[in-house]
Amino acid sequence: MTATTPIDRNGGQILIQQLCAHGVKRVFLVPGESYLPCIDALYDHQDTIQAVVCRQEGGAAYMAEATGKLSGEPGICFVTRGPGACNASIGVHTAFQDSTPMILFVGQVGNDFYEREAFQEIDYRQMFGPMTKWVAQIDRTDRIPEYIARAFTVATSGRPGPVVLALPEDVLWGTAAVPDMPRYCRAHSSPSVQDMERMRALIEAAERPLMIVGGSGWTPAAAADLQKFAERFSLPVGVAWRRLECFDQHHPNFVGHVGWSMTEELRARVCDADVLLAVCTRLGEASTEGYSVVQSPQPKQKLIHVYPDANELGRVFLPTQAITADPVGFAQAAADLKPRQPPRWASATQTGHRQYLDSLKPLPSPGSMSLDVAAAHVNVHLPADACVTVGAGNYALYPHRYRQFAGLGTSLAPAVGAMGYGLPAAIAAKLDNRERTVVCYAGDGCFQMNLQELGVAMQHRLGIIILVFNNGIWGTIRAHQEREFPGRTIALGFDNPEFTQIVQAYHGYGEVVADNAEFAPAFERARQFAEKENLPALLEIRYDSDGIAPGSTLTQIRRDALARQASELNQL
């Protein structure tokens, strides 16, 4: 067969055709004249690629990052040069710390204007270098296929992450007769037989083992293989901070969400473990509660650390055994591993699961509206495959504690702790699967960082449910302030708009809830509206700001801090 002779195409046409070749189904963008040929090229691929026009580049980048989390393929975002790139940087930082495959395309001044500080010019290599796996500028039209193929490979290989490619205007307007590259192929790393034999020996010699699962790149088959491995070895399993979807929390081996605000029983289990099997998680600051329950650089537990990037192994924690493997490779190897004797800790695993189930019971909270009660109700009344999204703030601790996540695709949460993430992530989840129930938890401050993306939900008729927790303060920072400077509250309160009127302006449904008895019927009304009208439904939940976290109040935090200060003064 004779290969087709390439025809002349402009850079935008070449680039968008490469996205088609690599299987891209959706791109998120805020249009800009700096990459106009790419926008024009999308016109010819409307049957293949959906172009989702966002209201601000931060929202667009978040949506691309969330898409990368859901699919395991790079989420794609286009923004214009300078200000557009600066706005989008928050999504890139999130993708980097969350290990999410993502590609950001940024318009750039032409090479003939470069290094003159032309209009909106930035050196993106310097700007994005510390927060990407690779950042480059494509300076020749005929090399576009090469750069795109490399971008997909880099974004998904080893520890996944973001790639940024700058697109000079003259390269996009220029033409070349160049062939398309074939679709990229993701490489997987797997442990050796010797690795698995040593790991089995360490586990079987343990008395109190614990497996913590996290990271990105999981597939349904890999998750199922890991679950069977846990069953055969009767291992108690926790998920790393905000990796709530990595293990089915209904499973009898599940013992909880490891990280900030975990239960005392789970904290003790992590601290007392003699063998800790960390599977594809970095065990960052959040999961280890400031490197305390797992100490750096030398953990007191025997640490078996499995991670797809060898550069991460030994970087923060010195492991007893280091295994270079990604989720797919490790799970495939673990699928064939069997214990040589009945595990001695099976009853302890059962106890851990019972303690987890006990933690789902709502804790007491001040006022007539309890976030504990609301979150527990949502857990029971949502379908198992529903996707719950959050941004950052103490409000997110409620779905983290009370929702039993059922596996991949059921949680979108920024491990980096980026505010404003919940709504764009919910939009991405609903675009990914319109039949899936999607609920966004958002604090009143967090929600206002990207509420303009309600326009995307309206335009694409996305029936998402939004729970806005209105306490009129920056709650997480208020808690820190009371802990360190008790009674000296300043610069943390704000007046809020009528959120119900805002969502109504976007043709959605809005209702205020201020009492426990009101929540269940209001949630059902919101859910029915979202499903019937395919438009956003918002519940504004007004509650006592003293209830700052599950089982915790600002009053008690202040009281404890004042008592600590008094004790320190008495010791002087």
Q: Where are any strands of DSSP class E within 139-202?
A: 162-168, 175-177
Alpha carbon 457 to its chain's center: 20
- Return the structure tokens found at 350: 């059962």
d(CA 492, CA 471): 11
Q: What angle do CA 61, 65, 70 make, to 5 degrees?
A: 145
Task: Round to the nearest angstrom and report the end-to-end CA distance of the chain.
Answer: 88
The residue among 89, 50, 157, 40 whose CA lies nearest residue 459 is: 50
Q: What percent of the chain has pLDDT over 70?
A: 98
Q: What is the pLDDT of residue 4?
A: 72
The residue written with tokens 């790639």 in the block is 163
pLDDT digits (tens, 9 = 90+) for 128-183: 999 999 999 999 999 999 999 999 999 999 999 999 999 999 999 999 999 999 99
Domains of the chain: 8-177 (3.40.50.970), 193-358 (3.40.50.1220), 371-558 (3.40.50.970)
CA distance 371 to 160: 35
Identify the burial level of 8 via C-beta atoms within 10 angstroms of its C-beta, where 0-12 means exposed, 13-18 middle and 19 or more buried.
exposed
Full DSSP string of 250-303? TSTTEEEE-STT--HHHHHHHHH-SEEEEES----TTTTTTTTTTTSSS-SSEE
Residue 462 pLDDT more than 80?
yes
Q: What tokens appear for 482 in the block? A: 């009371």
What are the CA-CA distances from residue 484 to residues 260, 285, 445, 487 (Å)? Answer: 18, 20, 22, 10
Helix, strand and coil in the chain, % to nearest 5: 40, 15, 40
Q: How confident is the model at residue 3 (pLDDT cuts 50, 70, 90)?
A: low
Give just the sign of the alpha carbon dihedral 277, 279, 282, 283. Answer: negative
pLDDT value of residue 1: 37
Q: Kindly state the average pLDDT of the residues 418-424.
A: 97
User: Tens digits of per-residue pLDDT, 201-217?
Assistant: 999 999 999 999 999 99
Residue with tokens 């200060």: 565
Q: Cα-flanking dihedrals φ and ψ of residue 85, to 5°?
A: -65, -40
The yes-or-no verdict on residue 80 having pLDDT over 80 is yes
Q: Percentage of the chain with pLDDT > 90? A: 94
pLDDT averaged over every residue in the chain? 95
Specify the pLDDT at position 113.
Answer: 67
Per-residue confidence (pLDDT) for residue 118, from 0 to 100: 64
Which amino acid belongs to residue 509?
A: Y
pLDDT at residue 183, rounded to an integer: 95
Dig out the tokens for 131 from the structure: 């927060």
CA angle 311, 144, 102 (to 5 degrees): 45
Q: How many CB atoms lie within 10 A of CB 484?
A: 9
Helix (H) or strand (E) holding 324: strand 321-324
* C-alpha atoms less than 13 angstroms from C-alpha of 377 in its C-beta half-sphere: 16
Determine which helix (DSSP H) or strand (DSSP E) holds 128, and give its type and residue range.
helix 124-128
pTM of the model: 0.96
Q: Dihedrals φ, ψ of 76, to 5°?
A: -115, 130
Query: Please, what's the largest Cα pairwise distance for the chain?
Result: 89
Model confidence over 343-358: pLDDT tens digits? 999 999 999 999 999 9
DSSP 8-state class, residue 115: T
Cα–Cα distance for residue pair 323/305, rounded to 1 Å: 6
C-beta atoms surrounding 109 within 10 Å: 22
Find, among 571, 554, 389, the residue nearest to 482 by Cα. 554
Residue-level pLDDT at 2: 45
**Per-position DSSP letters for 416-457, written without gaps between them:** T--TT-HHHHHHHHHHH-TTS-EEEEEEHHHHHTSGGGHHHH
Q: Answer whether residue 95 shows pLDDT above 60.
A: yes
Does pLDDT of 368 surpass 70?
yes
